Amino acid sequence: MHLSQVELTRLVEGKESSPHRFLGLHLLPQGGYMVRALLPDAISCELMMEGENKGIPMKKIHSLGIFEAEIKSKSVFRYQFKATYREKITHLLEDPYRFLPTLSESDLFLIGKGDDHKVYHKLGSHLATIDGVKGVRFAVWAPSARRVSLVGNHNFWNGRTHPMRLLGASGIWEIFIPGLTAGACYKYEILGPADETPFLKTDPCALSFEPPPHHAAVVCDLSTFDWQDSEWMKKRCLQPSHQQPVSIYEVHLGSWRRVPEDNNRSLNYKELGTQLAEYCNRLGFTHVELMPPTEHPFDGSWGYQVTGFYAPTHRFGSPLDFMTLVDTLHRANIGVIMDWVPAHFPKDTFALAQFDGTYLYEHADPRLGEHQDWGTLIFNYGRHEVRGFLVGSALSWLDLFHIDGLRVDAVASMLYLDYSRKHGEWLPNEHGGRENLAAIEFLKQTNALVHLYHPGAITIAEESTSYPGVTKPIAEGGLNFDYKWNMGWMHDSLNYFKEDPLYRKYHHNKLTFGMLYHWSEAFIQSFSHDEVVHGKGSLMGKMGGGDFHHKAANLRCLLALQWAWPGKKSLFMGCEFGQVAEWSHSSSLDWHLLQYPLHEGIQKLVADLNALYQKDKTIAERDFDSPGFNWVHADDGDQSVLIFERHGYDCSWVVVGNFTPVERTYRFGVPCLGKWEEAINTDSSYYAGKGSGNLGGVVSEKIAAHGRSQSIEVCLPGLSVVIFRQKTKV
């Protein structure tokens, strides 16, 4: 097999899509074999056949560094190249072009259908041993490219050295590079369909990246990590989270704590694991939710403009260090949820945007493919390979990194084609509607596969509209999320507490309205980072009326109401101790505030609320069971008093809120006779309140009130929530 001038020119000019046809070992029609090498900048080359001490000189057929030798052999043989470069430097090299493809026909078929659920084991870079030779195999999807080359430190970033082969009509390019090891940096040099000049792209499926401005992918070996969390992983599967207390601490890794003695640096993954585990256990949180730990170029995006959908960000350590963080939290019985962002991606030229010179991951039409609010691009969910890429991303975090759940960002923007668009700026679906049908099917598939492959793992939707059935099963027409953030309850509650107590009686319905729709979804009551940025101020700063002591009292009320309300709980870092300043991603939380009783008191209250929530597990078990909740008195807006019951299978709570500074003596009905323990009183001096209360509890009397045959008369401190508790059978 001799090269024609056209074939030689295509190799030399870097326009050959199947270099393995000409390079490597090939049988000649007349018998024997042709061996051809591509070794740019090599002066000479010898063919070293296995078992032979003397090399066979190879003919240089082009100045670029193309060598060939015809070998009269009756059978296939193993060989290496002995290449000589300037100053007579010689290297003994394995030939990348003598190896068969590392992906099978079935692999290509499933990837093309979007049905290879572990595509991250196929695409990207992977350490491998092939034919006894150690190296790294690479594969990337770029169907419209005319040529893709692997470039990196190993070949001096020369795109002529290692052109990859296109595997049929799959659009996947592949190569095995002998001798490469973990830590090697690389990119893909791509010649697009209409380009004369190649461009560089980093690997969409890489597990690790160099920091900006390089953004090179890094070959990574996760197999060396020794997981110690088997007990946690087994326990996670035993009981559905719906029946367990779920109290989530939302964290931005770069600003939770910093080290001022070390140039104000952020904690690394290992430090974060140790300190978060201790802190969450002390305060009683069951889970940590990490704002996107995925790789991203711009700190100010907080991780929500992702360029590495499979990779933990380099900012706090290596992927192995990230695994240490998760493992440490698991061994401390803390679950790990991560924010996952399949709604959009940034336009950075080194990443996914126009990856192969065409609109590949995104839509070509900006009415479908661009987020006007965020300046980002929308995934083309209708393309099988794109859907498979995103599904693979979701599953990889649960599989490789033992993540326990995904909080899916910006779901509303995925569901609707007209999201934040004016008339004429969007295209309807095939039925003329506004729903993004491909995105809806993608979300259903992702949730189904997460639950199939990872029992006990949860998915949470950040979804702000009234789209029906977000947490309903697919069989019932739902999206099959486990939970949905309760954005309506959050906005209503904050708007109520922003009011001066003098005027709250006119807004009492904001506290009660949420119960009209509460049972329609499995809600998480959440106060997130979105409420403490962009000029919105801190949670403490939002509280209406009075001086700083009144604001602290209001915040204690708000947090107690959140924990007492049906549904799971989520709280952004800093809110648990009354951070005063608005959150900044570039500086630490104001931990020094804990030296002041008002802030320490809020933190103590959160710890006690979590302790009560976990102590009375059957209350949590009925978070989504409507008979587990009853109104006692929902209509006393004139006095801004709200009373409701929570029932577990072995205990009951009666929750009373007094949202004015006026202390009251108040009688209300209770479901059972006996003593009602004052389990939580937000006005306790222990929480830096005024210390009014009921001396630990009240005994009910046979005096009818609020439809109950017995009642209690209590002291309701001003600006307080009191939870009365009784162990009982309901």
CB 115 within 8 A of CB 395: no
Query: Please, what is the end-to-end C-alpha distance for the chain in angstroms?
Result: 86
From the list 63, 64, 76, the residue with the least C-alpha distance to 26 is: 76
Q: Which two tokens stand for residue 281?
A: 């256990």
In this structure, what token pair is assigned to residue 337? Answer: 């949820």
Q: Judge contact between 712 and 701, C-beta under 8 A.
A: yes
Helix (H) or strand (E) holding 234: helix 230-236
**What residue has token string 């949820």?**
337
Segments of 39-77 assigned E as strands: 44-49, 56-57, 59-62, 66-71
Token pair 């599904």 in the structure block, residue: 391
Distance CA 173, CA 17 (A): 9
Q: Which amino acid is at 606?
A: V
* Tokens matching residue 48: 């070293």
Whether the upstream peptide bond of residue 297 has omega within 30° of 0, thus cis, is no
What contacts 300, CB < 8 A, 6 or more positions away?
585
Cα gap 468→572, rounded to integer Å:
27
Distances from the Cα of 686 to the Cα of 285, 558, 601, angstroms: 20, 17, 6
3-state secondary structure of 366: helix
Active site residue 409: yes
Q: Is 535 in a helix, a strand, or coil?
A: coil
Whether the CB-CB separation of 576 and 256 falls below 8 Å is answered with no
Q: How far is CA 349 from the centre of its chain?
A: 22
DSSP annotation of 416 reads B
Which residues in 302-323 are b (16+ Cβ under 10 Å) and which e?
bbbbbbbbbbbbbbbbbbbbbb
CA–CA dist 116, 120 (Å, integer): 9
Residue 75 CB: number of other CB atoms within 10 A? 5
482 catalytic residue (yes or no): no
Tell me which of 409, 521, 616, 683 is the catalytic residue. 409
Cβ atoms within 10 Å of 168's Cβ, excluding its own: 12
Rg (C-alpha) for the chain, rounded Å, is 31
- Catalytic-role residue among 462, 492, 616, 683: 462
Please identify every residue annotated as catalytic.
Answer: 409, 462
